[in-house]
Amino acid sequence: MARLNATRGASGPNGRDAILLRTINPSGSATSGKRTVNLVEVLDQTCSELLAIQDYCGTITRLPSDDCAVTAVEAALIGLIVDEAVTNSIKYAHPTGVPGRVTVECQQDHRGGITIEVADDGVGLPENFDPKSDGSVGFKMMRALSERLEAVLAFKSSSLGLGVSLRMPSKLALLVPSHAADDNGQLATFSTASARRVFAQEQRASNPVDGCLEVLQALPAAVYTTDTEGRLTFYNEAAATLWGCRPELGKDEFCGSWKLYWPDGTPLPHDECPMALALRQKEAVRGLEAVAQRPDGTRIPFLPYPTPLFDKSGAMVGAINMLVDISERKRAEVSMARHRDEQAALYQLTDNLFRASSLDGVCNAALDAIRRALGCERASILLFDGTGVMRFVAWRGLSDEYRRAVEGHSPWARGVKEPQPIFVQDVEAADLPESLRATVSAEKIKALAFIPLMVNGELIGKFMTYYEAPHDFGDTEIDLAVTIARQLGFGIARLRADQASQLLASIIASSDDAIVSKDLNGTVTSWNRGAERIFGYTVDEMVGRPITTLIPPDRNDEEPAILERVRRGERVDHYETVRQRKDGSLVDVSLSVSPVKDASGHVVGASKIARDISERKQAQTRQELLTREIQHRTKNLFAVVLAVVSRSFVGKYTVKDAEAAVVSRLRSLGQTHVMLLDKEWQGADLAEVVRAEMSPYAGRVQVEGPSIMLSARAAQNFALALHELATNAAKHGALSNATGRVHISWSKRMSNGSNLFSFRWQEQGGPPVWPPTQRGFGSAVLEQVMAEYFEVPPRIDFPIAGVNYEIIGSLDALSEQHTADGGVAGARA
């Protein structure tokens, strides 16, 4: 295919035009139209020029040929065809670039018919290629020229090569008046139209290119001639087509175009055009470019090749100009520039997305790229919000009303897998809901596109482009839109990932828990503030150091076990253990260790969360202690009750007496308990204990003493002792008549560095007292129970005037608090 579809870059002034100018220029090597030339010479010259021009590595050989006399015009036409055929062979016969062989020959049959053959040893024409209709300019020109010659152009293509043959009927010989035509039978035959036209033109001696007009007319390039004054003397059809008008010969000057402009758009007066310049300067002008405007307004950029023509004496006789239409090239240039701009926009987008650190940044970068690459003034980006509603996040050139009206609209359902872009070329013609069309039209939008934005295969939103005129969305534009959407999706995904990891990082940084990571060798790779706080090491001290730095020597076997589990991809959850701080102290921690995997799922390390559970551990210890204390106290209490009950029966004569004693003693015990419970078992003031026990006898009891805190047990035992004393006084002593009184007093003083405590119960005014005959519970309490606190045993006397009970000892024994955990504390004051 390459053989035919490739552009014939070498065509133009240097190849074909060299032949053209050579044969038609009187001062050139060829002769005028009236004269005949030997075709063999023309072929030789064509071959040698092609060899020179075309930088061809193979050979071009003219095979032995017959001398054939043809007119200059025919020679030029044949030369052009041969030029094309040879050039085609040179370019396409050997796509691999191996040196090829091209042969050219001409033969004349006995009737004067001429056959010219060009053959190569290349790959032949591609399949399906019809040389009679297909092909580029070259093939078209060969066909057009052979038609003009009324010759038969034939192609013989095979894998061994391509042969092009041009068979000319014998009438050519008739045009040879002198030496070449010796066949009299054909001399008088001017039967073909072309021959007649050639002769007719040869009559017009006024045209400096007379005799060549046939050639010029046949050329697909725009050609015209002027006289020395610049008045048009001839133009061909191609020129009329380029200009879009038919100028008047002999009147219009310099150029047949309707209007002329420079490439930058400034008007170009005809008398300053390149042709005018060439005539003034009497030399060819090259390298300029101009734009012809047709009467219908279309503009055709072209390259002019104005060349003055001179006669044999060197006098200028006029000029010829060829206009090469370069609109295709211009279009290609515009398209290239456009393509460059698109590429630049995409590059810029990639660059900006890379730098963007916010959604605004990402969206602005994308909107710039969209507008630049897709050539729209207005654009917008919408994303699904948390509730699944498509909302504007960035836009250019949209009114608030419009955004309000269309926000939430999405052409695709939220979860759709492969949403396709939607292009509305013409809003008026499109199948849109009427309300939407009205809204869109009110915003002066005539065309628009919806491009889905995807992140990880999920639809997250769309971008929109808006045009103020109906817009034909080309394939390139659609591809570009999809590419930008993809880039934007990546940008948003990266941003979201960044934000998520920043959030994660700040959560980790602000966590009270130690969150650290380590590699599979147990080397610390990250260390948060929680870890600094719990373990006392800074991040600089720990990163790069082994995690075993934290492990107390007696737990050295833990880390290998943990690492082993992590290597297997297992988690370690809430493993309670002990770690060592920088200052050497131990801290109770609960560890959760999870394997960290890379993108391909390989375990590369572990993340470790350590929670300081010392407080919880302490609370747990306290809880256990309290439970034990309650257990102990309850059982003790029952044991005390048992003792009270069983001892109360000792020495009692009646069950009734015993019952009364049990009830009153338990009531006293209960009362003291309630008092102590109110004070959370921290102890009680002696004065309060006395007041509580003696309240039934208020008014007959005189109490005197400083505030002294007793431990809970001392308070309980004091209460029991007071109860026994009071019960006895009420039965037999000072409180058994109407006049007796009890005096209770205590004091404390320092003696030899210790607090000395003394307590006294003294009865007065009661009936005469007799010492008890039996030692019961009461005396056991007063003598034995109270003895616990004092080095000196308590003394109870029974003088006749009233009972006297006295204890003296260290105050500390009374206030020392025995707690269940074995500690000793002072009673709370």
Partner 1 sequence: MHVHNGALAGRSILIVEDEPLIALEVHAAFNAAGARVVSAANRKEALRMISLPGLSAAVVDMNLGENDCSDVCKRLSDSGIPFVFYTGDARADILQKWPDAPILTKLADKQRMVEVVAGVLR
- Alpha-carbon torsion 138, 143, 147, 149, what sign? positive
Residue 781 binds partner 1 (CB under 8 A) = yes
Of 436 and 640, nearer to partner 1 (C-beta) is 640
Query: Should residue 824 be labelled a site residue for partner 1 when binding is judged by CB under 8 A?
Result: yes
Check residue 822 for interaction with partner 1 (CB under 8 A). Answer: yes
Taking the least distance from each CB to partner 1, the nearer of 417 and 775 is: 775
As beta bridge partners, residue 105 has: 117
Is 384 near partner 1 (CB under 8 A)? no
Is the dihedral angle over the CA atoms 234, 237, 239, 240 positive or is it negative? Answer: positive
CB neighbours of 586 closer than 8 A, spacing ≥ 6? Answer: 552, 578, 579, 580
Asked if 278 and 306 touch (Cβ cutoff 8 Å), the reply is yes
Q: Taking CB under 8 A as the rule, does residue 720 contact partner 1?
A: yes
Segment near partner 1 (CB under 8 A), from 502-510, 592-600, 641-649, 790-798? 641-649
Output the CA angle 723-729-735, nearest 5 degrees.
Answer: 115
Query: Measured from the CB atom, is 34 or 652 closer to partner 1?
Result: 652
Name residue 606's amino acid. Answer: A
Q: How far is the CB of 803 from partner 1 (least distance, A)?
A: 21
Task: Tell whether residue 5 is a contact of partner 1 (CB under 8 A).
Answer: no
Min dist. Cβ of residue 524 to partner 1 (A): 38
- Residue 198 within binding range of partner 1, rule CB under 8 A: no
Structural tokens at position 20: 């053209």
643 binds partner 1 (CB under 8 A): yes
Q: Is 187 in the site for partner 1 (CB under 8 A)?
A: no
| Smallest separation (angstroms) from partner 1 to the CB of 629 | 9
CB 407 within 8 A of CB 439: no
Q: Is position 790 an interface residue for partner 1 (rule: CB under 8 A)?
A: no
310 binds partner 1 (CB under 8 A): no
CA angle at 48 for the pair 46 and 51, rounded to the nearest 5°: 105
Partners of residue 463 on adjacent β-strands: 381, 451
Distance in Å, CB of 810 to partner 1, minimum: 13
SS3 of 40-85: HHHHHHHHHHHHHHCCCCCEEEECCCCCCEEEHHHHHHHHHHHHHH
Window contacting partner 1 (CB under 8 A); options: 160-168, 170-178, 183-191, 647-655: 647-655
Among the listed residues 148, 713, 723, 732, the single contact to partner 1 using CB under 8 A? 713
Distance CA 826, CA 706 (A): 17
- End-to-end CA gap in the chain: 111
Binding residue for partner 1, selected from 111, 179, 597, 632, defined by CB under 8 A: 632
Closest to partner 1 by CB, 755 vs 779, is 779
Packed helices 475-510 and 327-355: angle between N→C axes, nearest 10 degrees: 10
Size of the site for partner 1 (CB under 8 A): 33
Q: Which is nearer to partner 1, 780 or 808 (CB)?
A: 780
Own/partner pairs, 296-303, CB within 8 angstroms, 24+ separation = 296/244, 298/244, 299/261, 300/242, 300/325, 300/327, 301/263, 301/325, 301/326, 301/327, 301/329, 301/330, 302/222, 302/242, 302/326
Q: 418: which residues sit within 8 A by CB, 6+ positions away?
A: none
Q: How far is the CB of 717 from partner 1 (least distance, A)?
A: 6
Residue 814 sits in the site that holds partner 1 (CB under 8 A): no
Residue 622 C-beta: closest distance to partner 1, Å: 16
Between 529 and 647, CB nearer to partner 1: 647
Environment class of 166 (CB within 10 Å of its CB; exposed 0-12, middle 13-18, buried 19+): buried
623 binds partner 1, rule: CB under 8 A = no
Among 269, 266, 261, CA closest to 294: 261
Which residue, 317 or 714, has its beta carbon nearer to partner 1?
Answer: 714
Stretch that binds partner 1, among 77-85, 764-772, 799-807, 820-828 (CB under 8 A): 820-828
CB 636 to partner 1: min, Å: 5
Q: Which stretch binds partner 1 (CB under 8 A): 332-340, 467-475, 499-507, 644-652?
A: 644-652
Does residue 604 bind partner 1 (CB under 8 A)? no
Pairing, β 290-293 against β 299-304: antiparallel
340 lies in the binding site for partner 1 (CB under 8 A): no
Q: Which stretch binds partner 1 (CB under 8 A): 90-98, 336-344, 684-692, 813-821?
A: 813-821
| Residue 775 sits in the site that holds partner 1 (CB under 8 A) | no
Q: Rule CB under 8 A: say whether 675 interacts with partner 1.
A: no
Residue 335 vs 634, nearer CB to partner 1: 634
Is residue 621 involved in binding partner 1 (CB under 8 A)?
no
Distance CA 706, CA 710 (A): 12
- Closest separation in Å from C-beta 821 to partner 1: 10
Q: 443-449 long-range CB contacts below 8 Å, 24 or more apart?
A: 443/398, 443/399, 443/402, 444/468, 445/378, 446/470, 446/471, 447/423, 447/471, 447/473, 448/424, 449/421, 449/422, 449/423, 449/424, 449/473, 449/481
In the complex with partner 1, the residue whose CB is nearer, 338 or 818, is 818
Q: Which of 639, 663, 677, 829 binds partner 1 (CB under 8 A)?
A: 639
Measured in whole angstroms, how far is the alpha carbon of residue 667 from the centre of its chain? 82
Dist. CA 703–CA 711, nearest whole Å: 20
Cα 195-201-205 angle, rounded to 5 deg: 140
Dihedral over alpha carbons 682, 685, 690, 691 (to 10 degrees): -100
Residue 166 · residue 116 · CB < 8 Å: yes
Task: Report, in Å, the least distance between residue 627 CB and partner 1.
Answer: 9
Residue 190 as a binder of partner 1 (CB under 8 A): the answer is no
Which of 61, 784, 792, 799 is close enough to bind partner 1 by CB under 8 A? 784
- List, as one string, the DSSP characters of 280-324: HHTS---S--EEEE-TTS-EEEEEE--EEEE-TTS-EEEEEEEEE
Among 53, 245, 785, 801, binds partner 1 (CB under 8 A): 785
Pick 608 or 713: Cβ nearer partner 1: 713
- Tell me whether strands 741-751 and 701-704 are parallel, antiparallel or unpaired: parallel
Measured from the CB atom, the residue of 74 and 816 that comes closer to partner 1 is: 816
Q: Which of 246, 567, 597, 818 binds partner 1 (CB under 8 A)?
A: 818
| Beta carbon of residue 777, minimum distance to partner 1 (angstroms, whole number) | 8
Measure the CA dihedral 686/688/694/698, to 10°: 130
| 158 is a contact residue toward partner 1 (CB under 8 A) | no
CA atoms within 13 A on the CB side of 334: 6
Stretch that binds partner 1, among 422-430, 502-510, 603-611, 776-784 (CB under 8 A): 776-784
Residue in 550, 644, 692, 744 binding partner 1, rule: CB under 8 A: 644
649 interacts with partner 1 by CB under 8 A: yes
**Binding residue for partner 1, selected from 34, 647, 691, 743, defined by CB under 8 A:** 647
- Contact status: 578 vs partner 1 (CB under 8 A): no
In angstroms, give the least distance from the CB of 617 to partner 1.
Answer: 18
* 758 in contact with partner 1 (CB under 8 A): no
Residue of 16, 29, 156 lying closest to 82 (CA atoms): 16
> With binding defined as CB under 8 A, does residue 634 bind partner 1?
yes
CB-based contact 142:151 (threshold 8 Å): no
> Does residue 658 interact with partner 1 by CB under 8 A?
no
Binding-site member from 240, 756, 808, 820 for partner 1 (CB under 8 A): 820
**Residues of the shown chain interacting with partner 1 in the complex, contacts defined by CB under 8 A:** 628, 631-636, 638-640, 642-644, 646-647, 649-650, 713, 717, 720, 780-781, 784-788, 816, 818-820, 822, 824
